[in-house]
Structures are given as structure tokens and as C-alpha cells.
């Protein structure tokens, strides 16, 4: 598509106006009503996001192992991997996660997360719900968890973006739906994520393009500010919108000229350390998260990336796919925990590993709330591609938490040992997870803002409660 300058400005102006109309806050209608928490056990959060639906029975909550046999009954299969011992007595993980199992004395295993019932299961809807704590659609642009944290606590280091998002592209399937929750919503642009789609190219995100000298870059920056002033936001936007956008650009400009920008350069990492993390984009994302934590980042999300029918989105070839996924995550996650612990950062860094829901071979949704089948999963497995957890399961999911005041060597919740492998002890839901994170950071449970003369809380109606049993 070839646009001239006039057409480009017309298109971008229209897009800006559309964004403003979609729920951006007006200062007279947005007022803070939060109060500071009294204490905290964490300063930083790292979210390790297993995008696509990570099967609990194939990862951190293994059940009876049944090897593949041609023409076997699918209902016999609860786990397609053998279980292996962890450092915790009597606690096993699925084969392929041995390294993470050896650091569980530093964290908590949750085996009872229950995802929401939202009818026909769509990944982007459940991911929206997990990251914002609100079920879509909403009449107000709900902020991402990281945006709430950036707003309430601000940056630890004024040079490093308070909210960094690593690993997710928006040029893949369900792109617009993914964009919907990767924002600060009504809180404003300055609290939104600093995107790094590919951690191996992180340095390119914080320096001018090749061939552009400092003076030319400064002229570009001034031109951009002029476009803001003379564009739709400058003409129609509220003072809040204009100031928020301006501050977000100032933060980015400050980073470009700072020595902390070297944290984004993974080539400076010692080779022995780099090689452990170098299992792909996710592994290098964990390395970048560690380096940014050391430089004072506030909230970092690292994702295996959601792309339909890839990664953890195992609609077929589930067993084979998970063998590859485990190789991507096992070493880097374990090394991240060990490195943070060695430098003392783990004490004040809360690391959370989660996924939007789990998977099962036979049940779509949950036993008492089954939804439309989305996978042609035969009852008799005639081919290896049918061997694995291919349906979406919402009634029992596993999560990991480390550091930042979380109990060490602790297991919370339980799922049934036979199908349906649903939660049977201490169910945890998303508002409890969010409030546990906020509690660790010292953010009050009644934190909210008035939007269009209505209170909008960090968790729906301000009713979420932290799961105090997870904390020391």
C-alpha cells in the first residue's frame, strides 16, 4: 500500500480519534481514590506467561502415566509423560521440567487455579480476563495488571520503563484481541507497556535507527511533539491525555540516552550464562527480564507468545508439542530463579508463572459446565497426533510463584487424581491472584479510580481478597 504524507496523516488522525472515542479518560472524569498500602514484601513483578493453555496434568500436576498404544482408549490417558521427583518430598512434576523442580524449595506451587466460565472458550477472552481481572467486553478500557502497578508505584528507576512486555507480536492471529488488554486502558499511555517483541533485538528498541545521528534524532523527536500538539489529541484530547502521552515519550527519550540502555544488549551477557538462557525467544526473554530487574524495572511480562495452533495451543500433536515447549522453558526459568536468588533480588521480586487455562483430552470447559467442542478428538487414538491434551479445561490449572514474600517449598490446592482432574481443594480465582500480587507490593485492595462518575477497581467491585496462605 502506497500512501503519500497527507494520506498518512489523515489515516493516523482517524485512528487516534477512534482510540480517544474508545474510552480514553477525560481528566475531569478520572480521579484517583486509591490509598497506599501499609507494607510490602516485593518491589518488582516478573510474569512468565505460558500463552495458549498449559495442561496441568502434563506439567506441574502430573497424573497416572499411560504410554501411547495404537487404538487405545483416550479416556485412559491422564498424562502422556512420566512424573519425576522435585526437590520437595512427595511432589512430582511432569518429565521434562526437572530443572524447575529443583528450585521449588524457593517458591510455591498452586494446583487449584480455576478459570472463569465465559461460554464458548476463546484464548484472547481468557487472556484478557487473566491480565485485567475483568471479563470482556467492557464499556471501559480495563488496564493491564502491569499498568495498575506502574500507576500506583511508579518506576523504580526513572530511566527504565515501569512496564515492559517481552515476546508478543501483534502480527499473528487474534492480533486486535491481544492488543485490547496489552494497554494501560483509561490510566493513560505513560503507564502502558514498553514492547520488545524479540528480546534478541532488545537493544534496537532503545537506540535510534542505524544511520540516524543524534541531531537528526532530536529533530525527529521535536517533530513528533509538534504532531501531537497539532494533531487530534492536541486539538480534542483532554489535558490528562496530552500530558500522559507527552510523559510516555519523555520516558522513552530519556532511556535512549541513558547508560541503563545497555541492559537491553544481551551480547554483553557472559557466554556461559547466555547459553543457558538461549533456548529461543522465551529463554532470552527470561535473561532480559533478569537484566532489567537488576536495573530497576517494576513489572516485566515474558511470554512464550500466543499464536493460534502453536506453542501451548495444542489442538493436536499435544505430546510432541509439549516436549519442545518444555525444552524452551525449563532451563531458563530455573536459571532465572537461581540468578535472582544469588544476587539477592529474589527477596523483593515476585515471579509468577501462569497460563489462561489448562487442557484435557476428553472434557471441554469443565465437567458441570461443558461448552462447544472445538477439537476433533476421537475416543479411540489411532494416531500419535491424537495423543495429548487437546481440549480446553478450566476447572484445574497450575501456577508457580517465587520470591517477594511468597512461601518457600509450599504446595497449595489439589486436583482429582482421576478424570475429570478438577480442583477439589482450595480453589483460587483471578481476583485472588491479582490481590495477592497487589498485597505483596503494598497496593491497597480498594484501589480504584472514578471513570465516568463510576468507581473502577483494580479487581471487580473491589471484592477481591489476597490469598494470604501463599504469603510468609
The answer to whether residue 23 scores a pLDDT higher than 50 is no
Q: What DSSP assignment string belongs to 445-461? A: TT-EEEETTEEEESSGG
Is the model more confident about 430 or about 246? Answer: 430
Bond from prior residue into 39 cis (ω within 30 degrees of 0): no
- C-alpha cell belonging to residue 265: 544488549
String of DSSP letters for 72-141? EEGGG-SBSS-EEE-SSTT-EEETT-HHHHTTGGGEEEEEEE-----SS--HHHHHHHHHHSSPSP-SS-
Of residues 340 and 204, which shows the higher confidence score?
340
Range from 39-48, 237-246, 396-405 carrying the lowest mean pLDDT: 237-246
C-alpha cell at 390: 487437546
Residues 318-347 pLDDT 10s = 999 999 999 999 999 999 999 999 999 999
| Cα radius of gyration rounded to whole Å, the chain | 23
Quick one: pLDDT at residue 28? 36
Question: What is the rounded CA–CA span in Å between residue 126 and residue 129?
Answer: 5
CA distances from 295 to 248, 258, 290, 412 (A): 19, 12, 9, 32
User: Quick one: pLDDT at residue 260?
Assistant: 86
pLDDT for 233 beyond 70: no
CATH 3.40.50.720 for domain 44-192+268-470, yes or no, is no
What is the reported pLDDT for 18? 38
DSSP symbols for 327-342: HHHHHHHHHHHHHHHH
Quick: pLDDT tens for 302-321.
999 999 999 999 999 999 99
Residue 130 C-alpha from the chain's centroid: 8
pLDDT range class, residue 20, cuts 50, 70, 90: very low
pLDDT at 120: 80
pLDDT digits (tens, 9 = 90+) for 370-415: 888 888 899 999 999 999 999 999 999 999 999 999 999 999 999 9
Question: What pLDDT is attached to residue 7?
Answer: 43
- Calculate what percentage of the chain has a pLDDT beyond 90: 73
Residue 208 has pLDDT above 80, yes or no: no
Contacts of residue 341, defined as CB under 8 A and 6 or more positions apart, other chains included, come to 106, 403
Confidence class for position 237, pLDDT limits 50, 70, 90:
low
Q: State the pLDDT confidence band at 202, using cuts at 50, 70 and 90.
A: confident
- Please tell me the least confidently modeled range out of 8-22, 174-188, 451-465: 8-22
Mean pLDDT of all residues in 27-31: 43
In the structure, what pLDDT confidence band is assigned to residue 355 with cuts at 50, 70 and 90? very high
- For position 167, what pLDDT does the model report? 97
**Mean pLDDT value across residues 420-427:** 98
Stretch 420-448: mean pLDDT = 98
Mean of per-residue pLDDT scores for the chain: 88
Domain ranges of the chain: 44-192+268-470
Task: Give pLDDT, residue 9.
Answer: 39
Distance of alpha carbon 19 from alpha carbon 189, whole angstroms: 11
The predicted model scores a pTM of: 0.88
Which of 118-122, 380-384, 439-443, 445-449 has the weakest average pLDDT?
118-122
Per-residue pLDDT at 36 exceeds 60: no
Q: Tens digits of per-residue pLDDT, 162-178?
A: 999 999 999 988 899 99
**pLDDT tens digits, one per residue of 252-261:** 666 767 878 8
In this predicted structure, what is the pLDDT of residue 173? 83
* pLDDT above 60: residue 179: yes
Note the pLDDT of residue 320: 97
pLDDT tens-digit map of 86-123: 999 999 999 999 999 999 999 999 999 999 998 888 89
CA angle (106, 196, 25) in 5-degree steps: 100
Amino acid at each position: 500500500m502506497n500512501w503519500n504524507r497527507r494520506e498518512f496523516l489523515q489515516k493516523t488522525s482517524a485512528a487516534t480519534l477512534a482510540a480517544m472515542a474508545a474510552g480514553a479518560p477525560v481528566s475531569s472524569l478520572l480521579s484517583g481514590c486509591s490509598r497506599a498500602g501499609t507494607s510490602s514484601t516485593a518491589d518488582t513483578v516478573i510474569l512468565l506467561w505460558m500463552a495458549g493453555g498449559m495442561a496441568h496434568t502434563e506439567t506441574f500436576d502430573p497424573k497416572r502415566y499411560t504410554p501411547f498404544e495404537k487404538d487405545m482408549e483416550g479416556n485412559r490417558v491422564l498424562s502422556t509423560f512420566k512424573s519425576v521427583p522435585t526437590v520437595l518430598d512427595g511432589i512430582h512434576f511432569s518429565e521434562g521440567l526437572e530443572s524447575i523442580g529443583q528450585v521449588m524449595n524457593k517458591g510455591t506451587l498452586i494446583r487449584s487455579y480455576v478459570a472463569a466460565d465465559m461460554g464458548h472458550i476463546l484464548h484472547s477472552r481468557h487472556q484478557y480476563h487473566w491480565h485485567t481481572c475483568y471479563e470482556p467486553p467492557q464499556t471501559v478500557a480495563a488496564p493491564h495488571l502491569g499498568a495498575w502497578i506502574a500507576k500506583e508505584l511508579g518506576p523504580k528507576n526513572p530511566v527504565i520503563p515501569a512496564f515492559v512486555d517481552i515476546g508478543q507480536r501483534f502480527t499473528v492471529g487474534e492480533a486486535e484481541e491481544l492488543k485490547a488488554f496489552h494497554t494501560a486502558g483509561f490510566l493513560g499511555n505513560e503507564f502502558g507497556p514498553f514492547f520488545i517483541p524479540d528480546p534478541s533485538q532488545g537493544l534496537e528498541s532503545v537506540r535510534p535507527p542505524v544511520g540516524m545521528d543524534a541531531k537528526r534524532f532530536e529533530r525527529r523527536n521535536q517533530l513528533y511533539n509538534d504532531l501531537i500538539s497539532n494533531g487530534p489529541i492536541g486539538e480534542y484530547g483532554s489535558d490528562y491525555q496530552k500530558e500522559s502521552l507527552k510523559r510516555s515519550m519523555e520516558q522513552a527519550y530519556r532511556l535512549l540516552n541513558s547508560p541503563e540502555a545497555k541492559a537491553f544488549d544481551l551480547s554483553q551477557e557472559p557466554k556461559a550464562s547466555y547459553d543457558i538462557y538461549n533456548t529461543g525467544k522465551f529463554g532470552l526473554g527470561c535473561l532480559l527480564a533478569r537484566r532489567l530487574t537488576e536495573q530497576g524495572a517494576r513489572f516485566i511480562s515474558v511470554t512464550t507468545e500466543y499464536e493460534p495452533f502453536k506453542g501451548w495451543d495444542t489442538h493436536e500433536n499435544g505430546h510432541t508439542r509439549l516436549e519442545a515447549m518444555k525444552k524452551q522453558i525449563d532451563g531458563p526459568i530455573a536459571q532465572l530463579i537461581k540468578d535472582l536468588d544469588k544476587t539477592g533480588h529474589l527477596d523483593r521480586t515476585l515471579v509468577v508463572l501462569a497460563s489462561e487455562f489448562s487442557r484435557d483430552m476428553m472434557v471441554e470447559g469443565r465437567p458441570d459446565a461443558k461448552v462447544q467442542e472445538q477439537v476433533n478428538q476421537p475416543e479411540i487414538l489411532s494416531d500419535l497426533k491424537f495423543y495429548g491434551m487437546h481440549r480446553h479445561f478450566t476447572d484445574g490449572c497450575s501456577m508457580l510463584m517465587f520470591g517477594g514474600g511468597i512461601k518457600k517449598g509450599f504446595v497449595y490446592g489439589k486436583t482429582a487424581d482421576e478424570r475429570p482432574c478438577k480442583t477439589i481443594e482450595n480453589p483460587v480465582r483471578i481476583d485472588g491472584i491479582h490481590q495477592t500480587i497487589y498485597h505483596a507490593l503494598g497496593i491497597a485492595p480498594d484501589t480504584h479510580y472514578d471513570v465516568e462518575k463510576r468507581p473502577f477497581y483494580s479487581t471487580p467491585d473491589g471484592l477481591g481478597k489476597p490469598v494470604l496462605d501463599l504469603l510468609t
